[in-house]
A and B are shown apart, each in its own frame.
Chain A
Amino acid sequence: MVKILSLALVGVLMQPFAVFATDLTTLEPVVITATKIETPLREVASSVTVITRQEIENKQTNSVEEVLRSVPGLDVVRQGGLGQQTSIFLRGGNSTHTLVLVDGIEINDPSNPGRSFDFASLATDNIERIEIVRGPGSTLYGSDALGGVINIITRKGSGKPRVSLTAEGGSFATHQEKLSVSGGNDLLNYSMVASFLESDGISAAAARYGNSEKDGYDRTTVATRLGLTPTDNFDIDFILRYVDSEADLDTFAGPYGDDPNNTFDSEALYLRAQARLMLLNDIWEQKLGFSLTDYDRENRDETDASHPGDSSLTTYDSRLYKIDWQHNLYLHPTNTLTVGVEYEKEQAQGSSEYVYADPSWNTNDAFEKKSAETNGYYIQDQIKLWQDFITTLGVRVDDHQTFGSRLTYRITSSYLFRPTGTRIKGTYGTAFKAPTLAQLFENSTYVLGNPDLTPEKSRGWDIGLEQSLWEDRITLGATYFENHFEDLINTFFSLDSFKYEYENVDEAQTKGIEVTASVRPIEDLTLSASYTYTDTENRATGAQLLRRPHHKYNFNANYRFLNAGNINLDVLYVGEREDLDLYDWSKTTSLGAYTVVNLAVSYEINKHLRLHGRVENLFDEDYEEVNGFGTPGIAGYAGATLTF
């Protein structure tokens, strides 16, 4: 009763008077800027290159491997045109020494004899940024990160819902369609992209040997990220990436390499669910995640005119389960402690059948399902004194069910010399690679696995300088690196089993220099350049490691004009490198250096429509990345994007 009276009283007092419409002035916006919060595992001192979504958009690249080519200390080798097997070498290490992650999901293929990742099928869809960390990374991520880690971070939706449609077409009858939907608010955020890419391609086996049969490619990608933020301190995220691709292959390099019905079908699914909880007023952060990686691959080669009696069917299926639990303790502005545990189970199975004109050569092998479990425990401490001195120390133990435990550690340090604004940084660490399921357990007609294999191991270090000039408009960097590899797994032909076997004997060493420069003379123009010198050595033979060039240059100019257009010029020079001789694999030959120039232009007609076009290999350079396999000549593509 009293309450009603009080309310009534208040109601009477609150008589609104008419607000008389006036011309309201909108003032200059107040801008509040903050730095994105880095995760403590993002190494400030290590050699990190970040490729942003804007850069991917400026270069108009559809595949991750295309945009990785310009990164210093990184070599991309593709065995033919778009869609063919693509390998990445970091700091001269093997392609099996690159760990690739998507939002923390390990996407290296457990059924692959080297557990490497084939970049052929990775599209740039729904990617926010790509972080390339060079140097030993096992301390944080476990096995495989000897050369470095490539971490692909999916885009997170925000703001008003946006729908956009893209269509693109061009050379080699290539066309691509893409649909993306994104948005977000206090409770829910989403970003979903679905795309379809198809191309007639070029002949994978080099055309100059007389190969003319085009090897086409098609790829369907669905990449989504969904997040829930029910309360201030609790986040849940779901990430899904599905790729279905088919590529025509050529069986051999060089002359008579063409094969009109050799196809490689691949289905990949990457799934992750993660939850993050902040406690104690944001001092204690916990992350719990479940990841699943699933591969289904098939290589089918029917008989054809050139190979009337030969056919084959090979299948590989693999799965990787991972549970990870990480704690970040922001104890003090100067100190962050990270502790984590991981459980991982990899499994693989396969079959392989070869039929020949002469049936005595026929083989039919099955790789029964085999699995391996690994537990990982790690701890890292980061000491940060203003920006002047940042040091990170980390230790990790990985316990593998077959070979036992392996300890890795890493220390990175960075020091800012304020009078000149120079930053000096260095890293020293060890890494390992667990033997793969194929290397441990295979038992087929020609290959016998070795369950006594021990991990490959490495220790590496780097030291570098960073300097900003002219009010941060010029950034210069130089880094010297060295990696020593031991117990590398080598294949040899055993006279006991008359099969190929594996052993840990190889040793290799890589060293080099990475130099980078970036200049922004005026607001809309960015010029960047990098140079990498890599010297690799097989310690047993003294020879250079294959397919890794001594010299690599990259130059890029990006100019934004009229606040709506963008022009990007990219020049890549790859120096000479060694590769296997076409006819005698015990010999090597030298592949010539090449320069590829790409030009991309885009223009936003209004806020709904954007047109883009690009020319790849502007000067029609003729070159080979792998001996005997071809590369596309000059090519043009154009398209449009509609956004609502």
Chain B
Amino acid sequence: MFIPHETFSLWLFLSVGIHVATLALWPLPSSWTVEQPSYVVVDLRPAGGRTADTSIIAGKNLDTPPALVNQTAPSQPAMHKPAISPAKRNVVKKASKSSVIPAPTPLPTELSTKPENSSEQVAVPAQGSTHEFDGTINGERTDGTEAASNKPAGGLGGASDSDNNGIPGSGTGGPGTGQGMLRATPLAYGENPPMPYPHSARRRGWEGEVLLRVDVSAKGNVIAAHIETSSGYGILDDTALKNVSTWRFRPASINGTPKADTVLVPVHFQLHSPQ
């Protein structure tokens, strides 16, 4: 059957559009994620939030990374605002460790310049900033590859060595270890919707623990969640995944500055006898 040109183009256009829209919006399996680079911003400011200074150091635009006196103007890394849809979608890869800030010798005198006092060398959030870190360390853009990652959580003790990219407090010891580094934690139970025990699992007496790997943004939203270890029952895994993805977390932070984080969340389903 002969189809006129105009009609055909129209249908082709519609078809492509529907396909792209469907594929873009269709819920993907939990293991599919999109990772995009993110940059860690380190703000060279003393702890304690001396806001007056922030404007000096950070400049007018709080989105720009702070300039260190002895560095050339850093290039501005693009801020990536990830498209956040609950669970299973585009992930902003977070650099879990922010890079260390070397001794801020060039900084104004109001700031403490004692390298050993690591707490004062830790990045301080720009006033009111809740955006994700853009990362520049020592004038170099970091994409998190170097670095950060494998240094011990010794805090910023290595500040005396300006070349040393010691990572502040990124230890696995849980929230609060290592110099003001806090991991992401779920908000108190009352604030996240309670997770239901799936009815058919309850009826059958199914119990188990599923380990989820959850990527949390600096705002405390779940960017992605995966099943790290199954409980043995698909319905318990799916329930945990779906529910945790809607949760709000207290975001990770380094000495107060929120940042994205990945944590493992064990979800334990258990039944007890009625009485």
Give A475's nearest chain B residue, CB to CB.
B275
Q: Does B53 contact A (CB under 8 A)?
A: no
Give A15 to B34 CA distance when docked, in angstroms: 7
Q: Does A607 contact B (CB under 8 A)?
A: no
Q: Does A605 contact B (CB under 8 A)?
A: no
Q: Does B195 contact A (CB under 8 A)?
A: yes
Q: Does B183 contact A (CB under 8 A)?
A: yes
Q: C-beta contact mask, A22-54 vs B, less than 8 Å → 1, else 0? A: 111111111111111110000000000010100
A-B contacts at CB below 8 angstroms, number? 143
Give B32's nearest chain A residue, CB to CB.
A14
Question: Is A22 a contact partner of B35 (Cβ separation < 8 A)?
Answer: no
Question: Is A17 a contact partner of B93 (Cβ separation < 8 A)?
Answer: yes
Chain B residue total in the interface (Cβ 8 A): 63
Question: Is B36 a contact partner of A158 (Cβ separation < 8 A)?
Answer: no
Give A28 to B267 CA distance when docked, in angstroms: 9
Give B200's nearest chain A residue, CB to CB.
A232
Interface with B: A2-10, A134-142, A246-254, A564-572, which one? A2-10
Give B206's nearest chain A residue, CB to CB.
A158
Question: Is A186 a contact partner of B270 (Cβ separation < 8 A)?
Answer: no
Give A387 to B96 CA distance when docked, in angstroms: 49
| Residues A345-391 near B (CB distance < 8 A) | none
Question: Is A25 a contact partner of B264 (Cβ separation < 8 A)?
Answer: yes
Give A454 to B201 CA distance when docked, in angstroms: 46
Given contacts A2-B19, A33-B271, contact A160 B232 (CB under 8 A): yes
Give A6 to B12 CA distance when docked, in angstroms: 12
User: CB < 8 Å: which of B15, B35, B265, B273 contacts A30?
Assistant: B265
Give A37 to B200 CA distance when docked, in angstroms: 10
Chain B residues touching A, majority SS: mixed
| Residues A148-174 near B (CB distance < 8 A) | 156, 158-160
Q: Does A233 contact B (CB under 8 A)?
A: yes
Question: Is A22 a contact partner of B262 (Cβ separation < 8 A)?
Answer: yes
For B195, the chain A residues whose CB sits under 8 A away are: 30, 32
Give A25's nearest chain B residue, CB to CB.
B183
Q: Does A282 contact B (CB under 8 A)?
A: yes
For A235, the chain B residues whose CB sits under 8 A away are: 204
| Residues B246-275 near A (CB distance < 8 A) | 262-274
Question: Is B144 a contact partner of A20 (Cβ separation < 8 A)?
Answer: yes
For B209, the chain A residues whose CB sits under 8 A away are: 29
Q: Does A522 contact B (CB under 8 A)?
A: no
Question: Is B270 a contact partner of A32 (Cβ separation < 8 A)?
Answer: yes
User: CB < 8 Å: which of A2, A7, A26 contacts B15?
Assistant: A2
Question: Is B16 a contact partner of A5 (Cβ separation < 8 A)?
Answer: yes
Closest beta carbon of chain A to B268's beta carbon, Å: 5
User: CB < 8 Å: which of B24, B174, B186, B234 contacts A25?
Assistant: B174
Give A19 to B195 CA distance when docked, in angstroms: 29
User: CB < 8 Å: which of A15, A28, A36, A184 contacts B272?
Assistant: A36
* Given A25-B172, A26-B266, A232-B235, 20 more pairs with CB closer than 8 A: A2-B15, A18-B35, A19-B93, A20-B144, A21-B149, A24-B213, A24-B262, A25-B174, A25-B175, A25-B183, A27-B264, A30-B195, A31-B268, A31-B270, A32-B197, A32-B268, A32-B269, A34-B197, A35-B271, A158-B208
Give A275 to B139 CA distance when docked, in angstroms: 70
User: CB < 8 Å: which of A24, A32, A156, A229 contacts B267?
Assistant: A32
User: CB < 8 Å: which of A13, A34, A35, A282 contacts B34?
Assistant: A13
A-B residue pairs in contact (CB < 8 Å), sample of 11:
A26-B211, A26-B265, A27-B183, A29-B209, A29-B267, A30-B265, A36-B273, A36-B274, A158-B207, A159-B232, A186-B233
